[in-house]
Amino acid sequence: MSPSTDQGAPGQPGAPIDCVLFDLDGVVYRGTEPVPGAVEGIGFLRERSIPLSFVTNNAARTPETVAERISSLGISTTIAEVTTSAMVLAARLAEKYGTRALIYLIGAAGLATALESEGLRTTRRLDDGPVAIAQGLDPEIDYATIVGACDAVRSGLDWWASNPDYSMPGPTGQVPGNGAFVEMISRLTGERPTIVGKPSPHMLEHAASRLGATRPLMVGDRLDTDIEGGNAAGYETALVLTGVHDIHDALQAPAGLRPSYVLPSLRGLARLIAASGTLVDTEPSPAMTNAPIDATPPATDAVGTGSCRLVDGELILDDTARTSADGVRAALRLAWGAIDRGEPVRPGNLPRRIHD
């Protein structure tokens, strides 16, 4: 099932899922702790030598810092398995302008390091004659920096930004993200940057290309960044229910934000990948035996005559369907078909989250 139709999944028909791309916050960790199921799910991929990449919109941190944080949770991670929006932004600018090009930098050490690793030079002075602007989150940004950024944009320089995230988790709640400052500069100048982070497909395509993947799976907890980005890249997507968005959010999502799969947690990766053809003759490890199978739902569910149905515009699931990824996926498929025909759909007894 593709994100918006009942046709086959993106990628090469019949090919197994050959890499998994992960968002971080709400998927792999929450604060200083791993998300339940993350260690087991990622461990399963390690056991089967399935390549993976952790993709983050955060341009302020270096790949070394990201890898160290993930490893500290008991998920051993190498620098090569991390893809940041700063890395992708630097690669795109190097492709366009060549090494040694001078870039006007608005950002922190993570972005500066990424640009320099591609052979680019950086400046914070417009008088130095930069050819483009690279903007990432700068926790130390001040008024003078914002004024300088506006001057740089108004000068006609090619403006690129690492990501559009308006907010991000802080110690006591949501705090401004890079997107908040991008939006401010955009409103002041009337211009818009090229953005490489999710939901743009740039970063996911970069990560999958590094792994030589032909059928990637993008796993995330946000429909408007992770799922939208994976769909835009033409990849299969899985909404994991351990973070921001839940099943009711998926129900109401427009076509481009609909996930191919729903996972209670990353423990569900074993059965999902087995159903994709990667592990046809392999049993999942003992830690994964309770993970739900997310295979194609029966045709009866698609027409509303099986374990889920629409009654007067309201979704009704039987008890088994309400507690399984199979049943929830079938219900969403049924609801999306009705919504796309212009019919109103209420969630009924559709759960917000399920557990494995």
By the 8 A CB rule, do 67 and 177 touch?
Answer: no
Q: Which residues contact 336 (CB under 8 A, 6 or more apart)?
A: 4, 255, 258
Q: Which of 6, 18, 23, 142 is catalytic?
A: 23
DSSP 99: T
Instruction: Give every residue of the chain whose pLDDT is below 70, as ranges.
Output: 1-14, 277-305
For the segment 157-189, what is each residue's pLDDT rounded down to a tens digit?
999 999 999 988 777 888 899 999 999 999 999
For residue 231, count other CB atoms closer than 10 A to its CB.
Answer: 26
* 249 in active site: no
Share of the chain above pLDDT 70, in %: 88
Q: Which residues contact 148 (CB under 8 A, 6 or more apart)?
A: 124, 126
Best CATH choice for the domain 19-57+201-340 from the list 3.40.710.10, 3.40.50.1000, 3.40.50.2300, 3.40.50.300:
3.40.50.1000
Best CATH choice for the domain 95-195 from the list 3.40.109.10, 1.10.238.10, 3.40.50.1000, 1.10.1060.10:
3.40.50.1000
Helix (H) or strand (E) holding 196: none
Separation CA 175–CA 166 (nearest Å): 9
* 226 in active site: no
Residue 64: predicted pLDDT: 95
Q: Which residues contact 255 (CB under 8 A, 6 or more apart)?
A: 3, 4, 336, 340
Enter the pTM of the model: 0.85
For the segment 1-45, what is each residue's pLDDT rounded down to a tens digit?
444 433 334 444 457 899 999 999 999 999 889 999 999 999 999
Residue 230: predicted pLDDT: 97
Q: Which of 18, 25, 138, 326 is catalytic?
A: 25
Tokens of 279: 């592990």
Domain boundaries, the chain: 19-57+201-340, 95-195
Quick check: do 19-57+201-340 and 95-195 share a fold?
Answer: yes
